[in-house]
Structure 1
Amino acid sequence: MINAGSTAWVLASAALVMLMTPGLAFFYGGMVRSKSVLNMLMMNFVCLAVVGVLWVLYGYSMAFGNDAGGGLVGGFGFAGLSHGVAGTLVGPDSDKIPMLAFVMFQLMFAVITPALISGAIADRTRFLAWGVFVVVWASLVYFPVAHWVFAFDGFASEHGGWIANALKAEDFAGGTAVHINAGAAGLALALVLGRRRGWPREPMRPHNLPFVLLGAGLLWFGWFGFNAGSALAANDLAGLAFTNTMTATAAAVLGWLVVEQFRDGRPTTLGAASGAVAGLVAITPACAFVSPVGSILLGLVAGAVCALAVGLKYRFGFDDSLDVVGVHLVGGLVGTLLVGLLGTDAYNSASVNGLFYGGGFGQLGRQAVAAVAVLAYSFVITLVIGLVIKYTIGFRADPEAEVGGIDEAEHAESGYDFSTLGGRVGGGLGASQHVLVGAGPPAEKAEQTDDTVTATKEG
């Protein structure tokens, strides 16, 4: 029978994870310059449309269909969601949910993963080329890697992926499949597209820090669905994941701010937002395998390490615009590896004890193999995809568009209208426009407007 409570929780979690993509758009959008904010928002938003269609056609089948061989990719038995999906139940023991609820929950993971990559190539990317990249990358990289990590034998299909079943690395909600995967891809694309014009000589500060903090808050909110929803049931495991997500993120904010205080002399708003995201990234693979105190330690380490890691791009000369490598790749590695140190079966009997709990180096080694495998595969395949697009349809925006404003060049729009009011159109200004110009009755405001326009022209 369907467990109504668990079904409701998974559907609500899917909606929370969906909200993370607009949240990411605001987070990234505030960090770019004002002339490219719409392009950044659109690069994230379009992932909902593109991946949403691919997932139904063949993406879910490639990720969770019966293994086609070697634990590398699923077959096409679920293509179009037309066979063996409707009416089928999945989930642990008595917590059964409809498979379509699980399909939609996993779709939101597939959507946000390529969206994460966009931050590495902000300010210089053609929108059409980005759309083509999302189609190819999701098909060749995300869907197979999701099969490796998330497809367990006997769950949605008889045989699943090699990391989940043969290697037995622990990744509860996607530290490898989502964050290491996206971070490695971001590094590859940053190398393919090259540096922004003027980087690093010219300052390229965030144009809207309130957007950044709003986006980070939406990500934090949605991440409870990302992690706790991965229990696929309204149970104690969801409660543990929810708790650890909160505590690790809070600790990571503090870890990042402490580094800024000692390194730079002042903590920043951007640092607080970035620290929160770093903590969310790091706790993702570990949220159901560590204790609440362990999650605090994990968050502190992740916040501090990622705060130091974002400076690597200056040392090595790659232009990762919005620190996808420093936050998602490094944060994903930290969280995945620390499972091998901090994992404990005290809260989750299915967890393997890590090194600090007497489990030895075995689980740490498995975690490292999973991390390196996903990193290497994603980097190499992304590099090939990026180079093919670069030398065929072109990946990078024209120099004039990059300097003048990529929003106008790619979308014929701008994020902000800085033009001033002036002149009469069709016999005069409307009443609502008069209100914006001066104080007093409408006739007096019209006179003030005309005087202002005349003075501006003469000046």
Structure 2
Amino acid sequence: MLNTGSTGFMLLATSLVMLMTPGLAFFYGGLSCKRNILGIMMQSFVSMGLTTILWFFIGYSLCFSGGEGAIIGNLDKMFLHGIAPTTIFKDMGFPEIVFVAYQMMFAIITPALITGAFANRVTFKAYFIFLVLWQLFVYYPFVHMVWGGGLLAQMGVLDFAGGIVVHATAGFAALASVFYVGSRKYNKITKPNNIPLMAIGTALLWFGWYGFNAGSELNVDGITSLAFLNSDIAASFAAITWMTIEWYKERKPKFVGLMTGAVAGLATITPAAGLVSLPVAALMGILGSVVCYFAVHLKNKMEWDDALDVWGVHGIGGVTGTILLGIFASTAINPAGADGLLNGGTAFFIKEVVVVAATSVYAFVFTYIMLMLINLVTPVRVTDEDQLIGLDISMHGECAYDTIH
């Protein structure tokens, strides 16, 4: 039976998650150098188009049709076959079409997250191919296994809104792309070209994350409210923690650090948003911020050219949040969840740790091999000349500003 309240809420949550991809484009665009703003923003917006087409053709079906206990679904719902406006999604009270759209927004933003790692270095044609193959062989299988009734769901693995499925896969794919593509030849160390643009992106991401996390309850109840507030608490504690660390180390509080910390907190709470208490969300925000900060510091020390810290913020944030979920989860908070290590759930903790580690390794290895194969078809790395000119002009024939100095 159709529940208009749940339907309206899920349409709102879907809209919020959709807004995150333009927000990501602004966030990355503000952080990039002036010659590559449009190139990196276009990569996010292209995902909105191409991923939607792919999702319509086979993506939704592979993720959420058949394949109980398996690695991937089937093609029964290819081209959204059999899904009518009156088709109710399970017993959730809203049309399956709404669920199709909601999950599609997750599929759009996940590969777009990776693009910040190889900013200024990857050809557009290679990225186009990458966008399709990475979803088919990394994102879709993990969506099905965790959220589509597949293998990991049958094992009792929990991931409330995407610590494993979204952030661990994207973050470690980002690291693999950095290792394969190599460092930038020019402008390796650049200041953000437009911090206010980054601030707009952060605001849109933070705002959209309420739909990302609270919407993942797929209902309007107390857990929805818990996930909503947990998201804000974790982001806030993480933002202030990151700023405080930088303030202590560099003697100045940094706005970019404050915003980066907020995103790290949001990534950390994502797998646990509706499964832990409010005080635990605050602790997760602090711990996630500290761990991500030092992951970025390690990246810099090792000279891994992850341009916009995708691995350090999203990858490590997702992994940290999943491990902390394994420690702090409580059925007293959410009876549909599990008990973590502190509540006697040793087996659940081990499962979460093993699965997030295995997911990260798979995403890294497959992404590296996939880039090697793509390079056999079309060059992955741009030429030094194009890199010097900037991808906005060399790849797209456009520029963000009238004059670039």
1:206 aligns with 2:205: no
Q: Give the residue type in structure 2 aligned to 1:409.
A: S
8 A contact 1:352–1:359 mirrored in 2: no
1:131 aligns with 2:128: yes
Q: What's 2:180 paired with?
A: 192
Deviation at 1:317, TM superposition (A): 3.0
Aligned with residue 164 of structure 1, among 117, 132, 153: 153
CA distance in 1, matches of 2:12, 2:311: 30
Q: Which has the higher helix share?
A: 2
- Deviation string 1:406-428 (CA, Å, 9 cap, x unpaired) is 100011010000289xxxxxxxx
Query: What TM-score do the two structures reach when normalised by structure 1?
Result: 0.86
8 A contact 2:186–2:388 mirrored in 1: no
Deviation at 1:193, TM superposition (A): 0.7
Cα 1:409–1:419, aligned 2, differ >3 Å: closer, same or farther? closer
Q: What's 2:72 paired with?
A: 73
Secondary structure at 1:279's aligned position in 2? Answer: helix
CA distance in 2, matches of 1:209, 1:275: 15
Give the 4+ runs in structure 1 shifted more than 4 A. Answer: none
Secondary structure at 1:90's aligned position in 2? Answer: coil
Deviation at 1:346, TM superposition (A): 2.4
8 A contact 2:69–2:152 mirrored in 1: no
Structure 1 unaligned runs (5+)?
Answer: 152-159, 421-459
1:227 aligns with 2:213: yes
Q: What's 1:179 paired with?
A: 167
Secondary structure at 1:22's aligned position in 2? Answer: helix
CA distance in 1, matches of 2:82, 2:166: 27
CA distance in 2, matches of 1:293, 1:238: 17
CA distance in 1, matches of 2:369, 2:83: 35
Q: Percent identity?
A: 40
8 A contact 1:256–1:306 mirrored in 2: no
- When Rg is computed on C-alpha atoms for both structures, the one with the higher figure is 1
1:102 aligns with 2:99: yes
CA distance in 2, matches of 1:244, 1:343: 13
Secondary structure at 1:309's aligned position in 2? Answer: helix
Deviation at 1:86, TM superposition (A): 4.8
8 A contact 2:323–2:349 mirrored in 1: yes
CA distance in 2, matches of 1:390, 1:266: 43
1:38 aligns with 2:38: yes
8 A contact 2:69–2:153 mirrored in 1: no
CA distance in 2, matches of 1:373, 1:2: 39
CA distance in 2, matches of 1:393, 1:52: 24
Question: Relative to structure 2, which stretch is displaced further, 103-112 or 301-310?
Answer: 301-310
8 A contact 1:255–1:302 mirrored in 2: no
8 A contact 1:129–1:394 mirrored in 2: yes
Q: What's 2:48 paired with?
A: 48
Secondary structure at 1:120's aligned position in 2? Answer: coil
Deviation at 1:258, TM superposition (A): 1.8
CA distance in 2, matches of 1:39, 1:199: 16
- Deviation string 1:194-250 (CA, Å, 9 cap, x unpaired) is 0001465xx311111111111011000000000001111111111111010111111
- Deviation string 1:319-338 (CA, Å, 9 cap, x unpaired) is 11100000011000110000
CA distance in 2, matches of 1:16, 1:91: 23
Cα 1:148–1:85, aligned 2, differ >3 Å: closer, same or farther? farther
Deviation at 1:88, TM superposition (A): 2.4
CA distance in 1, matches of 2:252, 2:349: 36
Q: Give the residue type in structure 2 aligned to 1:116.
A: L
Deviation at 1:302, TM superposition (A): 0.6
Query: What TM-score do the two structures reach when normalised by structure 2?
Result: 0.97
1:396 aligns with 2:396: no
Q: What's 2:240 paired with?
A: 254
Q: What's 1:142 paired with?
A: 139
Q: What's 2:280 paired with?
A: 294
Deviation at 1:85, TM superposition (A): 5.4
CA distance in 2, matches of 1:82, 1:177: 25
Q: Give the residue type in structure 2 aligned to 1:128.
A: K
CA distance in 2, matches of 1:419, 1:409: 14
Question: Relative to structure 2, which stretch is displaced further, 299-308 or 384-393?
Answer: 384-393
8 A contact 1:171–1:286 mirrored in 2: yes
Superposition map of 1:257-276 within 5 A: 257-276=243-262
CA distance in 2, matches of 1:372, 1:39: 32
CA distance in 1, matches of 2:256, 2:276: 28
CA distance in 2, matches of 1:223, 1:125: 28
CA distance in 2, matches of 1:73, 1:289: 26
Aligned alpha-carbon RMSD (Å): 1.5
Secondary structure at 2:271's aligned position in 1? Answer: coil
8 A contact 2:34–2:404 mirrored in 1: no
Q: Give the residue type in structure 2 aligned to 1:104.
A: A
- Deviation string 1:339-374 (CA, Å, 9 cap, x unpaired) is 111112222112222222x22422211111220121
CA distance in 1, matches of 2:314, 2:127: 20
Q: What's 1:283 paired with?
A: 269
Cα 1:332–1:218, aligned 2, differ >3 Å: closer, same or farther? same
8 A contact 1:38–1:407 mirrored in 2: yes
CA distance in 2, matches of 1:141, 1:70: 17
Deviation at 1:263, TM superposition (A): 2.0
CA distance in 1, matches of 2:345, 2:249: 35
1:245 aligns with 2:244: no
8 A contact 2:62–2:73 mirrored in 1: yes
1:369 aligns with 2:354: yes
CA distance in 2, matches of 1:273, 1:91: 38
